[in-house]
Amino acid sequence: MSTVNQSIFLDRKVFYTVILISFIVVIAVLKLTPFGAASTTDSFTYIEAAENFKQGKGVILDSYAMGQEGEAVPFTTWPPLYPMVIAAFLADNTLPFYSVAQLSLLLLLISVLSFFFLIKKVAGYPLAIIGATVFLTASSTVLIFTYAWSETLFTALLILACWSLVYCIEAAQKEAVLAHLGYLCLLTLCVLGLFYTRYAGLWLGVLIPATWLVLPNKGKWFTAYFVASVVYAGFVGYLLWRNYLLVGDISGGEFNSEYNEPLRIAIRPISTTSFLDRVIEMQNALLALLPVNTSIIFLVLLFCLAGMSAFLTWRFSTVSLINNEAVAYYGKKLIFISFLGIVSYIGGFIYMGLVKSLPTYELRYIGLLTPLFVIILLFSLAYACQAQNRVIGMITTGLVSFLMISMIFQGGIYYKNAIVHWNTQPLMLYPTDVTEKDYFFNGTLPLEINSHYKLLQQISKQSVDSPLFFVERPRFIRLSAIYPAVKLFPIEINDYTINQLNHYTDKSAYILLFAQTEIQKLEKYYGTEKFIQLPYNKDYFEKIGVFLLPLPLPLR
């Protein structure tokens, strides 16, 4: 085949591959988000901040506390970039979680296609197909792109950062100064974007100096990479200083849904978790990438598939399928950069969990490193195919194949379970780690089965105007049940807060509680005997466990 014909064939093959990947991504996201992106507590916070940003108020949250109508709560629990991106997709005639699902679809397309072209450039078409398949079907990818989480944007930025640093390396080799500086600017922006999307992205700032370390002519580019690092540090410092000015802590503060008026912002407390506990949490999160909990039959099947791959490598050398020249130049460099990024991120994340009280480490946090894991596995496979010792090559290929096939299989389990759970138990879609003790909550439900929506609509029909409800989680109720007239039920119940509640009786107003702990606050204030005499709706309480009490309330 002539060089021209071969080039046309490859271009056509790549074109059809891009079409196929795009089709698979669209179908996958539509299946994983049948009612819009799934949601957790932070999802509601992102969307509210995005709505305010779209309205020109800035990246802020609304205050639901009594007496604070119209006040804003600083958005510092997470960095501001993801809500700003969401704002561009919000539409007046579309529910916000459908808008976020459209954003997730775009980000996944960008992630998978960028990863495909990245690996194609540095290792060849066959490994690009393998890499894109492993990344797309990994349990972490399936999980992250189901939810309205900032991890979706983080993943796309990380892959674009890897894409940029590859071109930095190429431009340095070709002595293309302007091109190198352009790609370095893009790399710096992507790495900055990681931090402005999630604070843990700070630790991937190491990608800038790591790229410089693998350049063929480091001395010539020291000044450029030093300036890039200083610019990165400056923007990181700005956001941390802004957090300190707003809430008194560089790590930001929690939003106000769980706090009283004097404590609308609460900085993260000091961690009480030990180093060993954090390491175990990290291990459990990482193992969720593999089918550790599957049956022995499927594990044997995976071993057989890996063994078959190893045998084919030994019997029929696949070196011709790999771009040997590109692997020789980029392979060790990208393995080094990826390994340094993984170590820096995991080490930094453990450090953050020892300094501040962070949630238990889950797959969603550690799965962000999946692109870097896949890069290391792909180049390990490439080097195994080139090994002079065929036995070592066969063993290495078998081990790498087993890991990649296992990741694909585990992702398939996650995908299947998500489809099933959307129809059977949509409140819990995925386990948080390999232990499968806890599941990620989901608050995105179709209105026909949304109990909060149904209840609020039923009560509202009994009133002339739209009643006001005091609830435990006003942001959740407003966005999931599509009901704006909600306020925060007081954390402390005393004469002062009872009087405050009674000020909201110019129209129909109710206390609407779902949690037993909140109901007990009223019982403690009134005493059991007087509490049971309150005019709450006995039917709702006895049949569905919901406490509905009209205002005004008597003082004890």
Which strand (E) or helix (H) includes residue 512?
A: strand 509-513
Which strand (E) or helix (H) includes residue 382?
A: helix 370-385
CA distance 421 to 27: 18
Question: Could you say which DSSP state residue 429 is in?
Answer: E
Helix (H, G, I), strand (E, B) or coil at 365: helix
Whether the full predicted model's pTM is greater than 0.85, yes or no, is yes
CA distance 449 to 296: 38
The 10s digit of each residue's pLDDT in 242-255 is 998 888 888 887 64
What residues form DSSP beta bridges with 469? Answer: 486, 510
- pLDDT of 265 strictly over 70: no
The 10s digit of each residue's pLDDT in 165-180 is 999 999 999 989 999 9
CA distance 361 to 438: 12
Quick one: which of 353, 354, 371, 372 has its CA closest to 362?
353
Quick one: which of 256, 289, 249, 285 has its CA closest to 270?
249
Please state, rounded to an integer, the average pLDDT across all residues of the chain.
88
The answer to whether 353 and 273 are in contact (CB under 8 A) is: yes
CA distance 358 to 13: 46
- pLDDT of 109 strictly over 90: yes
- pLDDT of 4 strictly over 60: no
pLDDT for 449 equals 84
Helix (H, G, I), strand (E, B) or coil at 214: coil
The 10s digit of each residue's pLDDT in 318-377 is 545 666 788 888 999 999 999 999 999 999 999 998 988 888 899 999 999 999 999 999
- pLDDT of 501 strictly over 80: yes
What residues form DSSP beta bridges with 428? Answer: 441
- pLDDT of 523 strictly over 60: yes
Residue 376, classified by CB atoms within 10 Å of its CB into exposed (0-12), middle (13-18) or buried (19+), is middle
Helix (H, G, I), strand (E, B) or coil at 549: strand
